[in-house]
């Protein structure tokens, strides 16, 4: 008889569950609904795939992501599981074949796009078969207050109600605020769900914010340092994607692109080039990534700041899914804030909403942008900032982010702050950061002179400081609540009640000034270049090419690294490698063992 541990080892090659996984598995096996919030890369799919293989009936997984369905089904089939998907990528003949196999009980797990739940053919078959579990992936899509609302998700409860028997229902997502959690449970009609929110921390990810004078120069430097690795570079607009991709290819890097302006065929081909390692770098808008289960992404660089922490953490979290160390780097410039505010104000999404609902969402998006901006400008621990945003407790020092690895000196900035606050007050709280900085630094800017702002008493008071230093102090005041940025189309700086005490000398302010030092190199860099690991990667690449699957579906980098560490010489020893299950042992064990044995002295 199969149990949760034998299934985990036989099909997925793991000896134990990660944090939160076993509780979710136990709840589903007992017939209780669940609501699971787990960060990207924490192993949500195992939580419903293990029960699916133990239950007598079929498991339906609802997902909006064609690429995820293909990856998940491909990986399951490699592991010896009978699985299929139903979405718009199937031809009519393929669709009919999957429906017939479903009716004949040939699948244990079926991935389906939410739109397909409404089709009469699929709905009729589902009424006749034994469905033990329905897993709703990307469950935040059901809430209009989430960052990715999809109206088709609202059809899921109706589909469930039409079944002859209500199965156990599980809802899974990477990020959700308390409000979105309540929405998910209510709209999907979860029955007293067991709710787990695992820690959002991903210890293997190194977080860094850079504020370079030239993003293009810095990007080339970062990519050169990682020339042997696979990575994603996110840009805010289609034009920026084109420019950055051209920059990389002109400088000899293997890069491709992905955005909504490309044809569906080109997007698919470019995505496959990246997933199958024909191209090592993907340059993309946020249209790329959801459902991409490429586990060996070693770095994610945001060329532009995203609109909110939720999106940033989800996108950055596509790095290091194999558990290996990976870098999440944000290249920040003040212009990013203006670009994002423009996109918030002018992008028409969720057409099913009325104007008042759209106004509320725009207001919330602007608030989220503020927290993203604070992340990009803070001198505090970046990991602590993210975890605190999601309600997680953490130490104020992680030792694995650019801020924690920087030397700081604490400076008294009271006098500088008083000059800034005085300038904002004396110009009538009518101007944004750039004008205020120009006044304080005594700029000869034409617009400033035309407004007679050079006649202000605060004109030139901070001429001895760089623009960056003045901007950093303003960002610090904004983050700490001594000023606020008001207005979306034309943001201006305004004083808050807290600014009065500083302005009149009743409070002094200390601010951290950064002295950057180089990030320490990971010890694993030497291991990755070992002859055995390279030989195993070459074998994996050959097998993946022959089977027309991505290399990580054969074995992840983490599995290959564990092979180098354990050096298995027998099938029993090989089965002890993390990520090696029964099916993969039978398919690949001898070939990989032969390579390992070849490195014996």
Residue 394 resides in a domain: no
Q: Are 82 and 107 in contact (CB under 8 A)?
A: yes
- Same structural domain, 157 and 239: no
428 — pLDDT class (breaks 50, 70, 90):
very high
- Same structural domain, 420 and 351: no
- Same structural domain, 475 and 533: no
- Residues 431 and 139: their CA atoms lie apart, in Å, by 42
Residue 356 resides in a domain: yes
Lowest mean pLDDT among 261-270, 336-345, 349-358: 349-358
Mean pLDDT highest for which of 59-68, 103-112, 350-359? 103-112
The residue assigned the tokens 């079929």 is 58
- Residues 558 and 564: their CA atoms lie apart, in Å, by 10
User: Residue 389: CB partners within 8 Å, gap ≥ 6?
Assistant: 309, 371, 375
Q: What is the pLDDT of residues 234-273, one digit of tens each?
A: 999 999 999 999 999 999 999 999 998 999 889 889 998 9
- Same structural domain, 465 and 528: no
- Same structural domain, 379 and 488: no
- Residues 417 and 437: their CA atoms lie apart, in Å, by 12
Q: What CATH number corresponds to the domain at position 457?
A: 1.10.10.10
Greatest extent of the chain over all pairs of C-alpha atoms, in Å: 85
| pLDDT given for residue 199 in this prediction | 74
418, pLDDT greater than 60: yes
- Same structural domain, 238 and 371: yes
Q: What CATH number corresponds to the domain at position 560?
A: 1.10.150.80
The residue assigned the tokens 């400081």 is 465
> How many domains does one find in the chain?
4
Mean pLDDT estimate for the chain: 88
- Same structural domain, 162 and 229: no
- Give the chain's end-to-end CA distance (angstroms, integer): 43
Q: What CATH number corresponds to the domain at position 41?
A: 3.40.50.300
Q: What is the pLDDT of residues 364-392, one digit of tens each?
A: 888 889 999 999 999 889 999 999 888 78
- Same structural domain, 240 and 321: yes
136 — pLDDT class (breaks 50, 70, 90):
very high
Q: Judging by DSSP bridges, how do beta strands 483-486 and 492-495 pair with one another?
A: antiparallel
| pLDDT given for residue 493 in this prediction | 93
Q: Which domain holds residue 350?
A: 205-389
The residue assigned the tokens 């079944």 is 163
- Residues 314 and 324: their CA atoms lie apart, in Å, by 17
- Same structural domain, 431 and 490: yes
Residue closest to 196 by CA, chosen among 318, 32, 386, 313: 32
DSSP 3-state assignment of 504? coil
Q: Which of 496, 515, 534 is the C-terminal boundary of a domain?
A: 515
DSSP 369-426: HHHHHHHHH--S-HHHHHHHHTT----S--SSBTTTTSEEEEEE-HHHHHHHHHHHHH
Q: Which of 180, 197, 214 is the C-terminal boundary of a domain?
A: 197
- Same structural domain, 383 and 413: no
DSSP 3-state assignment of 20? coil
525, pLDDT greater than 80: no
Residue closest to 328 by CA, chosen among 306, 352, 361, 351: 306
- Same structural domain, 138 and 12: yes
DSSP 158-173: HHHHTSSSPPEEEEEE
Residue closest to 379 by CA, chosen among 350, 408, 357: 408
Strand partners, 510: 412
- Same structural domain, 494 and 554: no
């Amino acid at each position: 008889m199969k149990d949760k541990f034998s299934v985990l080892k036989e099909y997925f090659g793991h000896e134990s569950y990660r944090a939160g996984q076993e509780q979710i598995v136990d709840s589903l096996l007992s017939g209780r609904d669940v609501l699971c919030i787990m960060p990207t890369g924490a192993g949500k799919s195992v939580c419903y795939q293990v029960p699916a293989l133990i239950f007598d009936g079929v498991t339906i997984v609802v997902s909006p992501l064609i690429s995820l369905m293909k990856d998940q089904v491909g990986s399951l089939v490699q592991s010896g599981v009978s699985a299929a998907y139903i979405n718009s990528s199937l031809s009519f003949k393929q669709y009919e074949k999957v429906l017939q196999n479903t009716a004949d009980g040939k699948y244990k797990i079926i991935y389906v796009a939410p739109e397909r739940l409404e089709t009469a053919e699929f709905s009729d078959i589902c009424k006749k078969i034994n469905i033990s579990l329905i897993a709703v992936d990307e469950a935040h899509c059901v809430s209009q207050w989430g960052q990715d609302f999809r109206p088709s998700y609202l059809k899921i409860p109706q589909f469930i109600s039409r079944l002859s028997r209500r199965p156990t229902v599980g809802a899974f997502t990477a990020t959700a605020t308390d409000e979105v959690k309540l929405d998910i449970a209510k709209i999907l009609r979860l029955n007293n769900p067991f709710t787990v929110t695992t820690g959002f921390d991903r210890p293997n990810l190194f977080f860094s914010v850079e504020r370079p004078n030239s993003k293009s120069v810095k990007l080339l430097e970062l990519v050169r340092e990682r020339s042997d690795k696979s990575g994603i570079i996110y840009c805010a607009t289609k034009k920026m994607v084109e420019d950055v991709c051209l920059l990389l290819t002109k400088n000899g890097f293997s890069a491709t692109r992905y955005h909504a302006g490309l044809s569906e065929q080109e997007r698919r081909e470019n995505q496959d080039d990246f997933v199958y390692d024909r191209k090592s770098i993907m340059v993309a808008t946020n249209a790329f990534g959801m459902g991409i289960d490429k586990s060996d992404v070693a770095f994610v660089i945001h060329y532009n700041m995203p609109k909110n922490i939720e999106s940033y953490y989800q996108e950055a979290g596509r790095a290091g899914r194999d558990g290996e160390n990976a870098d999440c780097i944000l290249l920040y410039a003040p212009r990013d804030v203006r670009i994002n505010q423009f996109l918030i104000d002018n992008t028409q999404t969720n057409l099913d909403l009325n104007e008042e609902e759209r106004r509320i969402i725009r207001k919330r998006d602007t608030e989220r942008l503020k927290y993203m901006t604070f992340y990009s400008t803070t001198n505090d621990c970046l990991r602590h900032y993210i975890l605190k945003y999601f309600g997680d407790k953490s130490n104020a020092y992680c030792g694995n982010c650019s801020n924690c690895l920087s030397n700081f000196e604490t400076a008294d900035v009271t006098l500088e702050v008083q000059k800034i606050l005085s300038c904002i007050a004396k110009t009538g709280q009518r101007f944004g950061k750039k004008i205020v900085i120009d006044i304080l630094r005594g700029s000869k800017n034409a617009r400033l002179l035309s407004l007679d702002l050079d006649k202000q008493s605060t004109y030139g008071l901070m001429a001895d400081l760089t623009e960056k230093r003045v901007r950093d102090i303003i960002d610090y005041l904004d983050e700490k609540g001594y000023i606020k940025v008001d207005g979306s189309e034309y943001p201006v700086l305004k004083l808050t009640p807290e600014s009065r005490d500083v302005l009149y000398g009743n409070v002094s302010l200390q601010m951290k000034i950064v002295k950057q030092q180089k990030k320490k190199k990971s010890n694993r860099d030497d291991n990755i270049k070992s002859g055995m690991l390279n030989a195993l990667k070459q074998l994996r690449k050959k097998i993946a090419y022959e089977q027309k699957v991505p290399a990580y579906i054969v074995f992840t980098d983490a599995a290959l690294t564990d092979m180098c560490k354990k050096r298995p010489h027998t099938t029993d020893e090989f089965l002890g490698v993390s990520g090696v299950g029964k099916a993969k042992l039978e398919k690949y064990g001898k070939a990989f063992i032969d390579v390992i044995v070849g490195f014996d002295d």
